[in-house]
Amino acid sequence: MKHPVFFLFFALITTSVINAIPRGFLSKRATQFYQCIYNGTDIPPLNVSVLPDPIVSGQDVTFGISGTATTDITEATVRIYLYDGHSFYRNYMGNLCELYKSCPVKKDTKFDFPFTTKPNGLPATYFIEVWISKNGTDFHCATTYNDLSPSKY
């Protein structure tokens, strides 16, 4: 007679614990990118995806970068910054015309291209910024840092 009571007590406790775990805690969330604001100016946004997500240190990661050109872009540099706000900083650069394989990119033209790199020594937490710029002119940007004042290196 003691065993059914013990089993019922155990089942009740187990169900209570399982129901107490937040649903979001068990599900994987994709890395979220936001529009950059730099020196009080909204930089035209990019859509960025990351594969694998989360990024694994020492393994290839592909950033899917897309958007719509807000001006004619004859040439530009694509920069991906990984930083933790303290001592960790990585900068990966590529030529937009080589990555997109079509230049110039005319105003209102949609673009979509991959950028693959292999980051090493990633800290537990870090920010990501993706910029398309040329000689101090910022064409597009996306960031995982969402307090509306991302750092720009």
137 lies in a domain?
yes
4 lies in a domain?
no
How many CA within 13 A on the CB side of residue 92?
17
132 lies in a domain?
yes
pLDDT in tens, 52-110: 988 999 999 999 999 999 999 999 999 999 988 787 788 999 999 999 988 899 999 99
90 lies in a domain?
yes
Q: Are 133 and 89 in contact (CB under 8 A)?
A: no
Sign of the alpha-carbon dihedral angle for 42, 133, 81, 113: positive
**What is the span of the domain harbouring residue 98?**
29-143
What is the per-residue pLDDT for 102?
85
Predicted confidence band of residue 16 (pLDDT cuts 50, 70, 90): low
At 117, is the secondary structure helix, strand, or coil? strand
121 lies in a domain?
yes
102 lies in a domain?
yes
pTM (2 d.p.): 0.75
106 lies in a domain?
yes
55 lies in a domain?
yes
Q: For residue 78, give the CATH number of its domain.
A: 2.60.40.770
